[in-house]
């Protein structure tokens, strides 16, 4: 049974569906920071993230009648932003590698549970290759599971898992010797 999501911004959504520009601007103001952050984590370029986000909002306003309320409006919009961001990466010809899980063994790394210097960690994530950064961001930050990531990126479930493990290992290697953890 599909349960409709009760949206706190339903009035604005209804006005956006009618093409009300003031409502669209209101919706933009409500979501632009969060959606910009989503795009930036994927495309890793501030100017491009801004462009991608703008395109995503334009697309969302055009497709407003397809929003059925089965998820929150923010989740619906985030999916559009993620897809637009991935389209941008595809234009840059990013190839996510397919790996046979049976022949590749990668150790899963558990991050220590200390306070982390967020700026050092953020810089390290930005320095990951596009493929690693995208999977890491979609999984750890955006909250998608491997099944969803495999569908979004059109890769196998095992490739998603392997990319995440490799991203974690690469991140660990990048952070070795850096003042990442504080022991208060």
Neighbours of 155 (CB within 10 A): 20
Q: How far apart are CA 17 and CA 66, in angstroms?
A: 10
Q: Where in the chain is the domain with CATH 1.10.1740.10?
A: 10-91
Which pLDDT belongs to residue 7?
65
Exposed, middle or buried: residue 45 (CB in 10 Å: 0-12, 13-18, 19+)?
middle
Q: What would the two tokens of residue 24 be?
A: 């669209």
Helices 10-17/21-43 angle, 10° precision: 100
Q: How far apart are CA 74 and CA 140, in angstroms?
A: 18
Which pLDDT belongs to residue 93?
61
φ/ψ (deg, to 5) at 180: -95, -40
Instruction: Please name the fold of domain 115-182.
Output: Arc Repressor Mutant, subunit A (1.10.10)
Which pLDDT belongs to residue 3?
53
State which CATH number among 3.40.50.300, 1.10.1740.10, 3.40.50.2300, 3.40.1010.20 fits the domain covering 10-91.
Answer: 1.10.1740.10
3-class DSSP state of 108: coil
Which pLDDT belongs to residue 76?
92
| DSSP assignment string, 138-183 | IIIIS---HHHHHHHHT--HHHHHHHHHHHHHHHHHHHTTSS-EE-
Q: What would the two tokens of residue 73 be?
A: 């409006």
Q: How far apart are CA 114 and CA 64, in angstroms?
A: 43
Which pLDDT belongs to residue 2?
46
The pLDDT profile of the chain, 184 residues, written as one tens digit per residue, is 345 556 677 889 999 999 999 999 999 999 999 999 999 988 988 999 999 999 999 999 999 999 988 888 888 999 999 999 988 888 776 444 444 443 344 445 454 545 556 777 778 888 888 888 888 888 888 888 888 888 888 888 888 889 889 988 888 888 876 655 554 4
Which pLDDT belongs to residue 55?
93
Cα→Cα distances 8→36, 40, 64, Å? 21, 26, 16
Q: Where in the chain is the domain with CATH 1.10.10.10?
A: 115-182
């Amino acid at each position: 049974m599909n349960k409709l999501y009760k949206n706190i911004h339903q009035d604005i959504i209804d006005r956006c569906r009618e093409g009300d520009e003031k409502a669209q601007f209101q919706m933009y103001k409500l979501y632009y920071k969060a959606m910009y952050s989503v795009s930036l984590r994927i495309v890793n370029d501030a100017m491009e993230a801004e462009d991608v986000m703008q395109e995503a909002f334009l697309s969302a306003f055009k497709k407003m009648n397809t929003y059925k309320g089965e998820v929150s409006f923010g989740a619906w919009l985030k999916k559009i932003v993620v897809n637009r961001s991935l389209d941008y990466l595809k234009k840059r010809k990013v190839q996510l590698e397919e790996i046979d899980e049976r022949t590749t063994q990668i150790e899963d790394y558990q991050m220590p549970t200390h306070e982390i210097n967020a700026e050092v960690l953020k810089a390290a994530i930005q320095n990951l290759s596009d493929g690693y950064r995208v999977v890491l961001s979609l999984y750890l930050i955006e909250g998608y599971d491997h099944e969803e990531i495999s569908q979004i990126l059109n890769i196998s479930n095992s490739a998603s898992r392997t990319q995440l493990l490799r991203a974690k290992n690469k991140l660990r290697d990048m952070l070795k010797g850096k003042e990442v953890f504080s022991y208060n």
